[in-house]
Amino acid sequence: MVKHSASKSLETDQILRAHAELEFSAELTVLEAYDQRQRPPHWRLSPWAVKTYLLGGTLEDGTKISPKYIGNHRLIEIAIATLATDRALLLYGVPGTAKSWVSEHLAAAISGDSTLLIQGTAGTSEESIRYGWNYAELLAKGPSDRAIVPSPMMKAMSEGRIARVEELTRIPADVQDTLITILSEKMMPIPELGSEVQAMRGFNIIATANNRDKGVNELSSALKRRFNTVILPVPSTIEEEVSIVESRAAKLGRALELPAERPTLEEVRRVVTVFRELREGKTLDGKIKLKTPSGTLSPAEAISVVNSGLSLAGHFGDGVLNAHDIASGLLGAIIKDPVQDSIVMREYLETVVKEREGWMDLYRACREVI
């Protein structure tokens, strides 16, 4: 495994998925040098520069900063402003709306380190949030500072950085409540040593949760009060969604060195159109009502469909993405329930795709697979 500290010496183009602070180190360095605005304690950039890094823009000297998030600017401003206070941030929404992506880039811009991460699962323990023990040291010499194995949360507190908690509602409720003392008192007690770790200025938490997990492990009212919740929606317009899918798919294609041409906007738009229409239960013009499938059909899944198609086109086709390459990935993303979703897809193919001008190739390709 390549550790974060070692990876700094590697070329990022050789890493399949570089951390944000490594992949965009040049932009962060430029912004850090250019940024003359007031910075909260231990922040690498000012809130203005963090926003510019996330949303993109052109500096006065002509330097262009690429957008990391395409969407509502006000939501990003609220998220950044929250992290500059003593309130923690909860990014909430349907799966695939870039919650983890935004979380990573916020941590990279604010702390210069996005790796202080706790992945929430049903098996996440209290030790994952607080601290563990080096049992050889513990048995040999008893409880001591040397025997403690700090969690990412403890490291973030002691260094004044941002800690990230992914899929908060997947964590058991009794483990979630470990965060209450950390968020309210800004300290983590160590009863075995009769001591505590106090949070340095600059410490905060970004948590993510998706609404498909609602009811799995509901947050207690005490914990909810300590988070400011920002709901990240699916892209509001088809142009936004096409831009997101096209740019991310092209970037991933380069990272994977797929032997295929950059996807055309026309093919990406077709994938996005199918997803949006089935997700919203009606065609874009609103003339035909549609049944909705059981899946979320998020932008993240659309990116996966395009990349799957690029792989097929590059390795088994002529290197140009077409309907035949897209069909299998499209059906795989839509049909999660083999009975219900198959009916939904067949109806959509016959009532919309077959009748739409210029889409007959997609209709035939999908009918071959379904």
**For residue 3, what pLDDT is reported?**
46
Predicted confidence at residue 113, as pLDDT, reads 96
SS3 track for 330-364: HHHHHCCCCCHHHHHHHHHHHHHHCCCCCCHHHHH
Domain coordinates in residue numbering, the chain: 15-231, 238-369
Q: Mean pLDDT throughout 346-363?
A: 96
Token representation of residue 130 = 């607080």
Instruction: Write down the pLDDT at residue 9.
Output: 45
Distance of alpha carbon 255 from alpha carbon 247, whole angstroms: 12
Q: Which SS3 state, helix, strand or coil, does residue 310 take?
A: helix
273-307 tens-digit pLDDT: 999 999 999 999 999 999 999 988 999 999 999 99
CA atoms of 298 and 83, how far apart (whole Å)? 27
pLDDT value for 73: 96
Asked if 61 and 71 count as a contact pair (C-beta separation under 8 A), the reply is no
Average the pLDDT over 13-25 and give the result.
Answer: 86
Has residue 191 got a pLDDT over 70?
yes
pLDDT in tens, 207-259: 999 887 665 778 899 999 999 999 999 999 999 999 999 999 988 888 888 99
Residue 334 vs residues 136, 139, 263, 307: alpha-carbon distances, Å: 50, 53, 21, 16
- pLDDT over 80 (residue 52): yes
Tokens 């210069």: give the residue: 112
Residue 119 pLDDT: 96
CB atoms within 10 A of CB 140: 10
Rounded to an integer, the average pLDDT of 200-213 is 91
pLDDT of 2 reads 42
- Tokens encoding 113: 């380190």
Confidence of residue 351 (pLDDT cuts 50, 70, 90): very high
Quote the mean pLDDT of the chain: 92
pLDDT at residue 95 is higher than 90: no
More confident residue, 248 or 109: 109
Give the DSSP H or E segment for 190: strand 187-190
> pLDDT digits over 308-342, tens only?
999 999 999 999 999 999 999 999 999 999 999 99
For 76, the token pair is 């990003």
Band of residue 94 on the pLDDT scale cut at 50, 70, 90: confident
Tell me what pLDDT residue 16 has: 79
**pTM score, two decimals?**
0.89
Residue 149, number of CB atoms within 10 A of its CB: 13
Q: Where are the alpha helices (DSSP H) in the chain?
A: 4-7, 20-23, 25-34, 47-55, 73-83, 99-111, 126-129, 135-141, 152-159, 173-176, 178-185, 221-224, 238-255, 265-280, 299-316, 323-334, 340-348, 360-369
CB 184 within 8 A of CB 194: no
pLDDT in tens, 124-183: 999 999 999 999 999 999 999 999 999 999 999 999 999 999 999 999 999 999 999 999
Supply 368's token pair.
């071959």
Residue 185 has pLDDT above 80, yes or no: yes
Name the CATH superfamily housing domain 15-231.
Answer: P-loop containing nucleotide triphosphate hydrolases (3.40.50.300)
